[in-house]
Structure 1
């Protein structure tokens, strides 16, 4: 237990909700912020917040929520001055690959301006450790598999990915200039109960139960490194509690993108077990007890054909790695989905 509060941005989001639950369960005080935007159903976000408030009361823990947009510089600075957080888990962002093609301005405000506000407030407050969400999408046009943090990631193929890579570079600048310990988490297709409705597995479940055809792009020839939410949260908190340190073996003549002489690091959070979209559909069919109708379509702009995480750095840092099998994780999601939507 730590009496000094953790600040979790994006607390009403999918990953943020589960992170706050885990922190409350171990007795930590949590300050949560979210702007509850309409990118997907705000009612789902409000339901998550209701659960967090109830969970805090049950565990006799402290959860304080403030509705706030991280692109509001004054509001973010004021929040840090009021609550004096100890560590920050930054998960607030404008999500969605295809939406970034249609509406890049919202990504500039949330993912760039908002992240700059968080960095500056962390610097001014002397934060012990900033842990923030990046994405496997930063690997972009990199054809090497599995994706390793030691490889170059400077060829994003969507604007969303470009903003996430920019976050990593911004974090390194603050780690280098101000000795702010930062850890960037490159998430690989996180799924599970209370998930995001814009994610494929979530929309597939809705369509399968509704008797609608599901669309498999690139004619179904895609695979993803699906990573179950409980595994993600456990590894995140373990890393959060181990502030980044400078790498004494880092050399400027052979710069390694994964770490630095500054207290900075990047870590893949994945299962290292890619599954095809066909396998995902099969797991959903088994869990829901309904056969899917499938429509095969060409690739979409900005899609990466397959993702596969190298998690050797993660294992070295914490001694463990995500391990929940896809069929088990999907069955847990399906159980939650039927209950929440009375489906």
Structure 2
């Protein structure tokens, strides 16, 4: 679809966290600069980057994001980049960078969502928009953070928190007005899929986990995945955002997959069933009940047919019945796309506010 020409708007970008997702996003911006200007009237300038291992830097004139990515990947301090000034920590970056949008992509803390939630609060209070791929702040402080965003007339967006770049929240916001989500069921964790499938091929739990780590899907410490915490936090995000709940991850009835052995997987398969870690949410009066546990489900069902790193989510609605979202074998670039789609939503918000 050809879009109407727009006056070019420059957005100044800051990053807290510059891992794989943020670097992939920066490369997307670098490769698509001309099309973003032509189709969306948008140019971008990176003015700050803050990392835990490579330091924090600010430059009013702009930081070459590809050069910054190369420095991080080489293990070099960001302060080695010409024309930048060092900042002591993320708080100083937030105070001094003068960005329009902060991209927060630090690691999930499933206990309380910190320090990411604090970074986001501080940023919104300074009148900057925030885009995050971090589930923690949405799970633990969604209502508070959204209230701060509204008070300061800025955006808080988080498409990448549940299904990488698949449009879960954008679908709900833009395509399902007037809909009430009554429940959901989803296979939302790639690591557990790979482990279960590996055990089905005869691997031990440990060997299947090692294989998932070797190909870069599972973290070195995969407890959050195999104990069900990752799926629980995603379930809470879905419930809080789509169903109006106020739930924390500790409220989820949670069971991981450590009790599953290869014999279980193969026996289920012989009966036409697949074992999957399923996250479920259901409205029960004014409450929302959440669970995450390994279930035996028909192999030819949508959730049972997921393979590899494929994720699937079924939303149960009042007026549209069931709506399914499937993302096949997502990688880092898909999560990076979520940052792009959220940034374009911010661009649209700014344009509408000026009209």
Whichever of the two has the greater Rg, that structure is 2
- The TM-score normalised by the length of structure 2 is 0.39
Instruction: Report which of the two has the higher share of strand.
Output: 2
TM superposition score normalised by structure 1: 0.40
